Copies of this chain bind each other. A is one copy, B any other.
């Protein structure tokens, strides 16, 4: 039940089109949530019915009309209510853990090479994230609130990839010892 509220959060910051919102899911917001444009458009329609958002149509020359959505008062109330709800960890669905578990009874060679590949890929991603951190959020003391939040969002992602990497390397050792 988070997707509509994440969209409301983005609209709370700025009125935007479905397209604008979709783009944000592949940048900063993407560190904690992914959504395709189909999901975004459908949610916007639903929220319009519930009167959580309203929209105006802006004609453009040579391009399709922009449907610009704005959050309503009802929408704002929904957002605040959502923030106050109890927190839970997301339910884990970890294919990698499942496959490792399966190696008890099955040949693990194929899994091992796939794991090695994901490890390499993850190391690359961590390097990129570190680079991004260095270039964008250098001097911690000079960051404004928005930047500090973005930095912590990035850090969340780094920490979980890092935790996974440590685990995966131990798994490789275990598989090699058999």
Contacts and interface: CB of A to CB of B under 8 A. Distances in A.
Interface string A26-66: 00110111100000000000000000000000000000000
User: Interface on chain A toward B: helix, strand, loop, or mixed SS?
Assistant: helix
Interface string A94-138: 111111111111111011001101100010000000000000000
A2 interface: yes
Contact of A98 (B5, B99, B101, B122): B5
Given A82-B99, A101-B29, A163 B152 contact: no
Interface of A: 2, 5-6, 9, 12-13, 28-29, 31-34, 79-80, 82-108, 110-111, 114-115, 117-118, 122, 145-146, 148-149, 152-153, 155-157, 159-164, 166-167, 170-171, 174, 178
